[in-house]
Structure 1
Amino acid sequence: MGGSSFQGKVVLVVGATGGIGAALVHQLLAAGARVIAAARSPERLAMLVSETGQSPQLLVCPTDVRDRLQVGHLLAWAWGRVERIDLAIYCAGIEYLGPLTSIDGKELEEMMATNFYGLFFLVQQLLPLMDKQKEKGTIVWVSSPMARLAFPWASVYAASKAAGDALMTGLRRECWRSGLRLLTLYPGPTATRAGQQLPPERLPRWHEQGQKMRAGRCAELLLRAIAAGQRQRAVTMPLRLLFLLERWLPALSERLCAGMPL
């Protein structure tokens, strides 16, 4: 998928009303794609439609990704209208932070259901559909640096994201000869609403420190990586350097991550 080949493609964006998801929708429409936007809130989907000037290239479908049946309905609904999906981007997610003892059962279930089960439900039901297409499709998992770095007070969130990483890695090997592409991308620190639902005493200082890029810039880098077909990619240079440090100097990486300010 070259840099200009979003033109005319059918793209499903799951988690389309979040900061990065909404930015992806806007940029894909500007690139000439036909976009199917899915998110939990009908009201926020209506706002997205309004923001795009009610573009005829945009279709929206309220979907709770935690529900396998709703994900199946989304795919059946989309297939009935466009009869193919060239690219699916899963960027739905929720982040609860804090000491391990502060994460309650409801928060654990919500993170696993949104960050992992929803991805599983989508991929499991989308792969057979894409396999029928003449031109095989691409599925993109927007992961998190925490899946590999796991800073303090992010252990459970990191686990929910790492589960998605493992799923996509295994599926890439399972679908090696099918022509389907499965990509895992890691955005850098981005200014979004993530963590805003938390009380101040559970928001670690590292989460708010440092300069964060705009959601639009993050979406641009993600689309560039998708166009390049990079199966696993951190989209910023500082993040790539951190991943290299984790791989080649794990003891140093351990000290740096453990020392992140709380």
Structure 2
Amino acid sequence: MTKNWFITGTSSGIGRILTEHLLASGHTVFATLRQTEQLLELKERYPKQLHVGYLELTDTESIHNAVEAALAEMGRIDVAVSNAGLGVFGAVEELDDHVISKQIEVNLLGSIRLIKALIPVMRQQRDGGHIIQVSSEGGQIAYPGFSLYHASKWGIEGFIESTAQDVRPFNIRFTIAEPGPTGTNFGSSLLIAPALDVYQDTPVNDLRKFIDEGFGELDNVHDVAQAIIDCAVHAQPPFRLPIGKVAIQHVQDGLQKRLDAVRSAIQ
């Protein structure tokens, strides 16, 4: 059965590939991004299925305008994918306050405001709806140098843990998608702070070199997009969805370490 999808961050990466997969399968998509001309070619191929709208996650009015436009074009929103975001790398004292604020404003506050705007829409629909938040394995584990990125991802996961309970009576379902390292433009778009000499012989600099080398083996972005689509067909979709062998293993290992730490503390 085809659905009406609302997706943020569709200019590239997971959001773009997800949009392409859905359109090829007959779904209707309201795709949002900051530079709408980037989807002109796709709009020409799917003039009836694809609707394109401007959305800037740091602008609350923009968020509401996009949701209202999606309703006007499609009549309802069955599935919403909160995918837009950015990544910041650097030890916290290497990051200036503007970059710190931008990381939290986009990934955490922007996602919260989007979900807040979507809830009344889905609440008023007879059969509710499904909100998929694209987090990352970094919403359950932490790497050196990504403290602010992890703060945003752990924060949005905690927000959804609570909000999902608030809206369950309205048949609004949530899924937190947690992909591992994926073959997108994440590395090239990463905001990397200038290195301080004091961190030369630390795990932060080791990971900085790893990023420069391309993150190693990456999951296929098409597989990640398809996993997100597949979870939306279930009447009771999974609440958490680690995607890819790396993410599945890392999330399990991270949870086990936290459980071991709790057990050790209370013995």
Using the size of structure 2 for normalisation, the TM-score is 0.85
* Structure 2: distance between partners of 1:173 and 1:199: 36
1:142 maps to 134
Report the Cα distance in structure 2 between the residues aligned to 1:252 and 1:238, rounded to whole angstroms.
21
Q: Report 1:131-170 matches (<5 A).
A: 131-170=123-162
User: Contact between 1:97 and 1:153, CA under 8 Å: does it hold in 2?
Assistant: yes
Most deviating of 201-210 and 78-87: 201-210
Give the 5 Å matches for 1:37-52.
37-49=31-43
- In the alignment, the residues of structure 2 paired with residue 119 and residue 105 of structure 1 have an alpha-carbon distance, to the nearest angstrom, of 20
Given the alignment of the two structures, is residue 31 of structure 1 paired with residue 20 of structure 2, yes or no?
A: no
* Distance in 2 between residues matched to 1:40 and 1:251, nearest whole Å: 41
What are the residue-to-residue correspondences of 1:116-131 with 2, within 5 Å? 116-131=108-123
- Equivalent pair of 1:97/1:195 in contact (CA under 8 Å): no
Distance 1:47 1:105 in 2: 38
Return the alpha-carbon distance in structure 2 between the equivalents of residues 184 and 90 of structure 1.
Answer: 10
Structural mapping, 1:181-260, within 5 Å: 181-197=173-189, 198=191, 204-207=208-211, 208-228=214-234, 229-250=237-258
> Deviation string for 1:62-111 (max 9, x for gaps)?
11111111101111111122221000001101001012112112211221
Once the two structures are superposed, what CA deviation does each residue of 1:37-59 show, in whole Å capped at 9, x if it has no partner? 00111232335435xx2432000
Equivalence for 2:199: none
Q: How does 1:43-122 map to 2 (within 5 A)?
A: 43-49=37-43, 53-122=45-114
Q: Which amino acid aligns with 2:119?
A: L
Pair 1:17 & 2:11 matched: yes
Which residue of the partner structure matches residue 175 of structure 1? 167
Give the aligned CA root-mean-square deviation in angstroms.
2.1
Q: Give distance in 1, aligned partners of 2:176 and 2:22.
A: 19
Q: Is the 8 A contact 2:79 2:232 kept in 1?
A: no
Residues in 1 aligned to 2:92 and 2:222: alpha-carbon distance in whole angstroms = 32
Work out whether residues 22 and 48 of structure 1, in 8 Å CA contact, stay in contact via their aligned partners in 2.
no
Q: Encode CA deviations 1:15-61: one digit per residue, 9 max, x unaligned.
A: 111211000000111121100000111232335435xx243200000
Task: Could you tell me which runs of 5 or more consecutive residues in structure 2 were left unpaired when the two chains were aligned.
Answer: 196-206, 262-267
Shift, 1:149, TM fit: 1.1
Amino acid in structure 2 at the alignment position of 1:235: I
CA–CA distance in 2 between the matches of 1:248 and 1:227? 30
CA contact (8 A) 2:95 2:193 kept: no
Equivalent residue letter for 1:188: G
In structure 2, the residue matched to 1:257 is: none
Q: Aligned partners of 2:258 and 2:210: how far apart in 1?
A: 20
Q: In structure 2, what residue type is equivalent to 1:31?
A: S
Post-superposition CA distance 1:97-126 (Å, at most 9, x none): 012112112211221121111211111111
Q: Distance in 1 between matches of 2:121 and 2:112?
A: 15
- SS class of match (1:196): helix
TM-score by length of structure 1 reads: 0.86
Size of the aligned set, in residue pairs, is 245
For residues 119 and 158 of structure 1, the distance between their equivalents in structure 2, rounded to whole angstroms, comes to 14
Q: For 2:109 and 2:78, locate their aligned partners in 1 and report how far apart those are by CA, in whole Å.
A: 22
Gaps of 5+ in 1: 254-262
Please give the secondary structure, in 1, of the residue aligned with 2:86.
Answer: coil
Q: Give, as a single letter, the amino acid of the residue that structure 2 aligns with 1:233.
A: L
